[in-house]
Every structure is written in structure tokens, then in C-alpha cells.
Amino acid sequence: MGRAVCVAACALNQWALDFEGNAERILRSISIAKSKGARYRLGPELEICGYGCADHYYESDTLLHSFQVLAKLLESPATQDIICDVGMPLMHRNVRYNCRVIFLNKKILLIRPKISLANAGNYRELRWFTPWNKARHVEEYLLPRIIQEVTGQDTVPFGDAVLATKDTCLGTEICEELWAPNSPHIEMGLDGVEIFTNSSGSHHVLRKAHTRVDLVNSATAKEVLVATLDLEDVRSYRAEISSRNLAASKVNPFPRIKVNFALSCSDDLAVPICVPIQWRHHSPEEEICLGPACWLWDYLRRSKQAGFLLPLSGGIDSSATACIVYSMCHQVCLAVKNGNAEVLADARKIVHDESYVPEDPREFCKRVFTTCYMASENSSQDTRNRAKLLAEQIGSYHINLNIDAAVKAIVGIFSMVTGRTPCFSVYGGSSRENLALQNVQARVRMVLAYLFAQLTLWTRGMPGGLLVLGSANVDESLRGYLTKYDCSSADINPIGGISKTDLKNFIQYCIENFQLTALRSIMAAPPTAELEPLVDGQVSQTDEADMGMTYAELSIYGKLRKIAKAGPYSMFCKLITLWKEICTPREVASKVKHFFRMYSVNRHKMTTLTPSYHAENYSPDDNRFDLRPFLYNTTWSWQFRCIDKQVSRLEKREGISVAEDMD
């Protein structure tokens, strides 16, 4: 009797609406799975069209092209003698579903619609799809003619069912269903299903891997041994658990689709069984080093650009961004060294050299990464030196320039038209003048960044253009501590979803692991925008003084606002307890009010926020994650009055208790 089964789970680099490329990657993964002896191949969620099609799911073209790809897969010799489980959208009785289509040897065995849809955070699945709410129910699905001509089937089973092969029983889940409290695998296991699969479209978030692994472990621990593919081990383990067997005797059975196919061989005693995987959890610093770096590489190769340009100020944020690019170069060289032909081909396309082999990260960095220090009369020599030294250590092509001429020209135009010349506050100007002069500098830098991104390679006799990288962190975006359309406005931003605290820890990680000693002085320096005049040649402006709050406070505000769903009053109530040892209720009230005033005044900036790597659940990204108004009544009169009343009550109560103590 066969007992050892070999199954393959595939994580593919699919691209929304890239039907040609998606089909090729699916077929390649099936061929690889078969070459390694797999008899069942599982792919990612919605892999045929790509998970991120968004409102393109509404289009009939998306459904049509998905079926065309499915037909191509069914016809391919690569899909013979292996059960293929692919993801695609389809319409059943005029309702759109997110489905798994499971087929074998040109016959569709089952179309399994998703039961629990993801609809929080970045996910909007209920906007495009309907969950299948008919538990253990199967209907007949009328196949489109393009599929009928390949399979010879008019209808196929559609619904909540499992596959019964000649040697085992297999059930499928789709992404969010694993996270649901009533996950399908629980009752599937009680009903004798021995193998669970889960096709996922889940994105990376810092510190989320622990949750994922725990969910998988808990799912398998309920019914099977972890990471075993020996069916007899599964059966023996279950049979000795009496409570499980009692529950199994009462379970409502799933419809079984009989499959005349075995996942095991009759003579498999010599087949080695996989040992359990020892999952290595990356630290948050490692995740920042690896995740955004892969994201940058993916964006670069897909956009067909020749590299990146980063305005490098010598501060924490832009330096962390530079380190992520350097990490990307490390990953590329390592992949090429390990024989990854795809990465090598992509690298050659990017540098426009068919014989090039990236071996040294610094040398590769020189080819694909340009850094630019944009000095003004308000810039210090210290930040210039820090930027220059870091660029030398990572190997980027570094440019030093001065923006004063451009700034003076713009201010000069204003003065010529109005007859008035604005001044910084240190020279007697108003706060309006002071802010306007800072914004001119910041916006000039954005214009110059795009100019140099388009033409720097031209001046070097190299083809192509560069993508501009932004470097505003998640905390500054939340507070609005950035100039609208300054260097925070870029093509993409690898740190836009990462907090200042995490970025500092990442910088320390880079010092230790990449030996980038230039980062030590960057870590030691107070964060500053350097947009106001120097005092005795030294920086007098600091970020935290400008913001009226520390980065540590800002991180707490961000988590309470988004993750804890706290408005002004709720945030105040939480913080008077959290900060009771360091702040009076009145001081907490003042801090909360200041945060919400600044947040609401600046919320409009989020509508133009550069697309960023989503790394934290407290991201203020207005484009897809944190949907809020961008024009507020910034007085928050009702909310703040509730806070004031609570402060008065607390102070009165404190006064009574003090009086009682004195008695």
C-alpha cells in the first residue's frame, strides 16, 4: 500500500494582468514539480491573472483571458499525470468568485470557490468577489466553450468539496480561510482529509512571520504531524486521539470528488520522507534588509529602467534607503553566484550588457545606483561628509551639487512680482515666510532629482533612465512632517511603511553586517531637515523640535490611531494610563491635541504620498490602506471638549485625594 506522497507548493512572481508571463511561470513551476517527483502541484491565489488586478476584476476581459490561460494549461503536456491546482476568478450564475480550479489530465476535477474573503487593511476582496456561503454544497458549473473543447466536459463540480484519490483524501483552503476562527481544515480533518493545502496571496509585514508559522502549525497540530508526508504517520497519530475520534464520528461529511489517481506509488518503501522544516524567523532588521530590497529589484526589472537615484542627505532615512539598495545589490550578486539564470538575465538587461556578470555588490551598485547630495547655504559640512563617506562605502555613483542659485532665482521672481522679499524667522521674518522659504528649497530638490534621474546616465554615455527613490518614513508621513512635492515625492519609497525606531535598528544592523562605518556618525547625529539658517556654522533646526513631539511618541500615536482604532478621546484615555508615571493628565491632553491638530492639518499630503513598501499595520498610506478624509475640521471641538472635561474630573479627583491625605 502506498504511503509516501510528494506534493509541491509554488510561490510565483506573478504580475497583475501579465497573462503571458503568468502562464509561462505556472507551466515552468509544474515542470519543476514533476521533475522532483510531485504528483500534486499547488500555486498561489489568483495566479493566472495575478492577485493585484483590483477593479480590473470587474472587466469581462480579465475572466476571458483567465479562461484562455486555463485552456493553455489544460492542453500542455507539462500538466499531464500531475494534479494541478491553480487560482483564477470566474463567474457562476452571474456572481464573481475567487476560485481554485483543480484538474488532471485535461479534466477539471473541481472548482472550489473561496469561503472567507480578506477585507481589511490592504485587502478589498468583498469589493470584487462574493464568498461561497453554502457549506458542503456542490453545484454544476457550465464550462465556457473554450474549455469544453479541451476537456470534453460540459459541466464540472463547483463548491465546497474535497478530493478522494485512490490512496488519500485532500482538501484545499484559500489564504484568508486559514486565519478564520472556523477554518475549513478543522472539520476537513475530522472528516478524514489527510492533506490540507492553502494557496495564499498574503503580503509581507514586519514581524508577521511568527503569526503565519503559528497558524500553519496550529492547523496541522489539530490533526496531523507537522511536516510529514507519510500517510501512515498521519493515520496512526489520529487514531490514538479518542476525543478527535468522537468528534469525527459526528461530523457532517464533505462531498467527495473521486479521482482515479494516486499521489503515492505502490512500491515506495525506499522513498525518503521529508524531515520537519526548522523555520528560521528573521529579526525585524533582517526583514527590512531583505524584503524592501527584493521589492526594489522586482520594481526595477519590471519597469525596465537602468537603476535608481536617491537624494542622499546624510540623515537616518535617506541613509537607510541607500542601505536597502546596497542590500539589493548583495542579493543580486549572491543569486548569480548560486546559479540563478533569471537574475543574471535581468541584471544584464538593466545594465545593457549581455556579457556582464555581477560579482561585487559595490561594483554593481556603481552601475545601478546614483546618490546626490543637494547642498544649500543651510547645509552643514557634517551632513555633506556623511553622505559622501556612505556613498563611497556602498559604491554608489555620487554627485555633489548646490541648489542656492535655483532657490535665489525662484525667490527673486517672487520679489520682482510682489516687491516683497521673505525672510527666515531668525532674520525677523514671520512663520509664514519661514515655512515658505523652507518649502522652496525642498521642492527645488524634487525638481532637480527628476532632472538628474533622467539625464545622469546620458552624461555618462550610458543608456536608460533612473527611478527616483523617496525616503520619508511612516512616522513623518503620519505627522505630515514633510513638504508636499519635495523629495518625499518620488517614484517609489522602500521605507514609507517603516518607523524611525525600526530604521535606527536597521542602521545598526548594517553597521554590524555590512561594515558600513559611515553609519556610526549618521546614527549619532540628531535628525534635521537643514532648511533653516545655520547658527555659527552649526545646525540649529531639529526634527523633533519642529514637530513638537518625539519620534518615540509619534510611533505610539500611530499605533493607537490605526491599530487600536483610537480617536482623540480614546487615545487620551489610553495614554493617561500608559504615561501615568511621566505625564499628568493635562500634559497628556496637550500632547494628544497637538498630534491630532498636526495630523489633520497635514492629512491632505497623504493623497500624494509616494507608493511605498507596505511594512507596518499603522501605515497612514491613503492610496490603499488607511482610508480617511483629507480635509478635516482641525479644531476637533467636540472631541477636545470631551478630553477637557475628563481632565477636569481627574484633577478634581486628584485634589480630593490629596486633601484626604492631608487630613
In the structure grid, which three cell numbers stand for residue 519, read together?
553609519
Residues ≥6 apart with Cβ < 8 Å to 155: 140, 141, 142, 143
Catalytic residue of the set 49, 84, 169, 175: 175
**CB count in 10 Å sphere of residue 564:** 11
Which of 34, 114, 500, 562 is catalytic? The answer is 114
DSSP 28: H
d(Cα 625, Cα 389) in Å, to the nearest integer?
37
H or E segment at 383?
helix 381-394
Catalytic residue among 6, 34, 45, 376: 45
Q: What are phi and psi of 136, to 5 degrees?
A: 55, 35
How far is the C-alpha of 199 from the C-alpha of 549, rounded, in Å? 43
Give the residues across from 608 on adjacent strands.
none
Q: Which of 29, 183, 313, 619 is catalytic?
A: 313
Give the C-alpha separation, 44 to 429, whole Å. Answer: 59
605 included as an active-site residue? no
Q: Is 614 exposed, middle or buried (0-12, 13-18, 19+ CB in 10 A)?
A: buried
114 among known catalytic residues: yes
Q: How far apart are alpha carbons 256 and 278 in whole angstroms? A: 34
Provide the grid cell at 367.
552601475
Decide if 396 is catalytic.
no
> Rounded CA gap, 120 and 124, in Å?
7
Q: Which residues lie across from 112 on neighbouring strands?
A: 100
Distance of CA 385 to the CA centre of its chain: 33
DSSP letters for 197-246: EEE--PPP-TT-HHHHHHHHHHHHHTTS-TT--BHHHHHHHHHT-HHHHH
Query: Known catalytic residue: 45?
Result: yes
What residues pair up with 538 in beta bridges, in sequence order?
A: 535
Secondary structure class of 107 (helix, strand, coil): strand
Tell me the backbone φ, ψ of residue 468, rounded to 5 degrees: -85, 130
In 392-504, DSSP assigns E strands to 397-402, 467-468
Handedness of CA 540, 541, 542, 546 (dihedral sign): positive
| Active site amino acids | 45, 114, 175, 313
